[in-house]
Structure 1
């Protein structure tokens, strides 16, 4: 009786094993590529649908994390709508504007509902104007529409301690706002023009985002703070309620039967000592202080 001839796997077990591994890797890579969503999104088709959440908290000094998270949510097809949870008194003008534009671009492709916490004022309200709907608690502090410039002056102190100051500049306004000299009427007019330009930018954002007329906005745009209830009566928010109310409103905008699971961000770096000092001493974040010069323009 003739013995069975050994097959390839028996004759070359090492080579056969290598070929199996290569085939498995190729199959896995092909399946993964086929399941990836288009437009560079790395989330597979079977990923569960979710609501995104963007948390805007504290002093607005750096927009990068919020803007980057908004970009990720915008390009993730599993995110069907977004809640922007704002609990901020405002902050830097440019940082507030950058967050606003990031959320506005997001709102152009997905439903966005703003949920106001304890406070969503000044720069916090600027950002809120990018949403499709704004939900505030009756006691939320919001509004504070305006711009301020803080210019410390130490000239009197320097004179008392006998220290003089000399500044050589290439132009008469180059040293405007210096804390070591008295502001001239021309410098005051110069800075006031800058403030009013940014103020009008603020008003323009509300006109566009809230579909209000300037004459409706201006009586409330003198820096005053409003409660959520007052803001509703004046047309600055749409609905009174809590965070769950915002989820239900987003569910309606997305035409769903029930809210979806949540994907929250950006992730917050925990620094207990820094958070404690910021809270107790009412300090701006350290990185924000470093980025600002002696002239601080604030939606705050």
Structure 2
């Protein structure tokens, strides 16, 4: 007679517990998706007359979620205006330019107000400048209009441990910026020209977004940080105030009163993804090549 070996939960308690946990996670994800679809209009947004609230927080590395959300608000006729809350030290040039373009395109068709938090500097200011109005706290850190290029330098370490590195390239500049050797004078000039061109793009876009004389912007754009009060005095910011002041300003501009705010983008990234993004931002040595940034240092 075969002995009863017990049920699965008794024979494999670890696997059983893991299966239960997985089932709970799947159920919660499905439930949240159902609520989002039934009550928030599918892609994390409300339906009906409303304002849009876009949060741009932390290093600007991946523009896609923010651009998609802003574009949706721009194209939705039920969205009377858009409030953008910026709390960012800036980030990589390309993503900052993509968000800047989305903000500019939205401001062409409906009111856009920016509220600056503790910091909205460099790329954080870049994404804000196309808005109709910018509101900052007196102690907000902003400005830092400039470009920085960073690259790792491992030559000294490799010399100490006796390692060498050789690259075979198709052109003289293909290996420029290699961390395994010093820059040549020609390469340094090459990278400086790239930085200068990116800086000129920044200055031009700020002058356009703020309707300022480009010579005035060039005077301000030496990379220095300004307080919110200093930024208002120089023309980079319109009003002093916090988040509620910016909300009231948007309501006044639209004349629509106390409509609800549709907030996004929805953050679906896991903890590991966020950690990888932050590490890659703060440690340029992790990158495979030179990195150009609109960021405060």
Fold similarity call, TM over 0.5: yes
Deviation, structure 1 residue 291: 10
- 1:226 aligned residue: 226
Equivalent in the alignment of 2:25: none
The yes-or-no answer on 1:294 pairing with 2:293 is: no
Partner of 1:261: 260
Is the CA contact 2:152–2:284 (under 8 Å) kept in the aligned structure 1? no
For these two proteins, the number of residue pairs brought into alignment is 252
Matches of 1:263 and 1:189 in 2, distance apart? 47
Shift of residue 271, structure 1, vs aligned partner? 3.8
Cα deviations across residues 37-69 of structure 1 (Å, max 9, x unaligned)? xxxx99xxxx53111011101010010000000
1:228 is displaced (CA, Å) by: 0.4
Unaligned segments of structure 1, at least 5 residues? 1-40
How far does residue 180 in structure 1 lie from its aligned partner after superposition? Answer: 0.4
Residue 52 of structure 1 corresponds to 52
Q: Separation in 1 of the partners of 2:286 and 2:252?
A: 41
**1:140 aligned residue:** 140
8 Å CA contact 1:247–1:259 kept in 2: the answer is: no
RMSD over aligned Cα atoms: 2.5
Q: Whole-Å Cα distance in 2 between the matches of residues 289 and 88 of structure 1?
A: 18
Give TM-score scaled by structure 2 length. Answer: 0.79
Give the whole-Å Cα distance in 1 for the aligned partners of 2:255 and 2:74.
18
State the Cα deviation string for residues 154-175 of structure 1 (Å, max 9, x = none): 1111111111121111111110
* CA 1:178–1:289: 2 relative to 1, 3 Å: closer
Q: Aligned to 2:82, what secondary structure does the other structure show?
A: strand
Q: CA deviation at 1:115?
A: 0.6
User: Normalising by the residue count of structure 1, what TM-score does the alignment of the two structures yield?
Assistant: 0.78
- Is contact 2:152-2:285 (8 Å) kept? no
8 Å contact kept, 1:112–1:250 = yes
Residues in 2 aligned to 1:108 and 1:218: alpha-carbon distance in whole angstroms = 25
Check conservation: 1:113, 1:134, Cα contact below 8 A.
yes
Match of 1:32 in 2: none
Consecutive unaligned residues of structure 2, counting only runs of 5 or more, are: 1-40
Taking the aligned partners of 2:186 and 2:147, their CA distance within structure 1 comes to: 20
CA distance in 1, matches of 2:218, 2:276: 33
Residues of 2 paired with 1:102 and 1:289: CA distance? 27
Partner of 1:252: 252
In 2: Cα distance, 1:182 partner to 1:148 partner: 18
